[in-house]
Amino acid sequence: MDRILAGTYPDAHCELDFGNPLELLVATILSAQCTDKRVNAVTPRLFAKYPTTEDYAAADRAELEEIIRSTGFFRAKANSIIGMAQSLCERFGGEVPGRLKDLVTLPGVGRKTANVVLGNAFGVPGITVDTHFQRLTRRFGWTAETDPVKIEQDVAGLIPKRDWTMMSHRLIWHGRRMCHARRPACGACPLAVLCPSYGIGPTDPAEAAKLVRPGPFS
């Protein structure tokens, strides 16, 4: 199944716009329960107004909230961003650390967010167990666990380490475009013949094709 995924999404990648680790960290916090497209709509203004950790740490809460409002959970996200920035200034000299152990100590940064930053801004192989990753690996029979850390351990034993970051992207792309939470497009899925969950969505190709969201397939 991993081979087919690799062939279907050869250039899967992080779809959040960013230019440095700090920008990716902020964008990833904003991406909680929100589409990347919407995050990318607000980050240009945000990054221009707050170019450094010091700028976030000293930000006016109301002004920051107004810019990120449309991403949802805006009060909690503003709290996380300001608290995270203050913590970065106090404990890491204003720099984003490149280790999981350090990243997860920041307010608003969990294991998933930390692995996104490591994998895409620092080039460290990371398994990103988000909602898509959890749903697809369970449907595929790669794991039976529900705890994200246990899922990560199961998948780590199945996939070579050098492929961890790309495999995370491919599963996420497939989850976003075809293997949806609600009505997965089983009839259009290239993994169907190998999938233990084939049939939980429409198996008629024409019906399934209607559910496939636009995106690169090669």
The residue within the footprint of DNA, chosen from 43, 86, 128, 137 (CB under 7 A), is 128
- What does the alpha-carbon distance between residue 199 and residue 83 come to, in Å, rounded to a whole number? 45
- What does the alpha-carbon distance between residue 113 and residue 81 come to, in Å, rounded to a whole number? 13
Nearer to DNA, 146 or 218 (CB): 146
- What does the alpha-carbon distance between residue 114 and residue 116 come to, in Å, rounded to a whole number? 5
The residue within the footprint of DNA, chosen from 19, 20, 35, 215 (CB under 7 A), is 35
DSSP at 92: S
The residue within the footprint of DNA, chosen from 154, 180, 203, 212 (CB under 7 A), is 180
| 112 flagged as catalytic | yes
Residue with tokens 């636009």: 214
Active-site annotation holder among 112, 147, 204, 210: 112
Binding residues for DNA, how many (CB under 7 A)? Answer: 41
Say if CB 61 and CB 85 are below 8 A apart.
no
The residue within the footprint of DNA, chosen from 21, 97, 108, 184 (CB under 7 A), is 108
Say if CB 121 and CB 20 are below 8 A apart.
yes
Of 185-214, binders to DNA (CB under 7 A) are none
The residue within the footprint of DNA, chosen from 5, 109, 151, 171 (CB under 7 A), is 109
| 130 flagged as catalytic | yes
Is 179 labelled as part of a ligand binding site? Answer: yes
Counting Cβ atoms within 10 Å, is residue 154 exposed (0-12), middle (13-18) or buried (19+)? middle
Q: In Å, how far are 158, 180, 204 from 100, measured between CA atoms?
A: 21, 29, 44
CB under 7 A: which stretch of 2-10, 89-97, 101-109, 158-166 binds DNA? Answer: 101-109
CB under 7 A: which stretch of 18-26, 152-160, 167-175, 189-197 binds DNA? Answer: 167-175
- What does the alpha-carbon distance between residue 191 and residue 179 come to, in Å, rounded to a whole number? 10
Q: Rule CB under 7 A: which residues touch DNA?
A: 14-16, 28-29, 31-36, 38, 69-70, 72-76, 80, 106-114, 116, 128, 130-132, 169, 172, 175-176, 180-182
Catalytic positions, please? 112, 130
Q: Which residues participate in the annotated binding site?
A: 179, 186, 189, 195
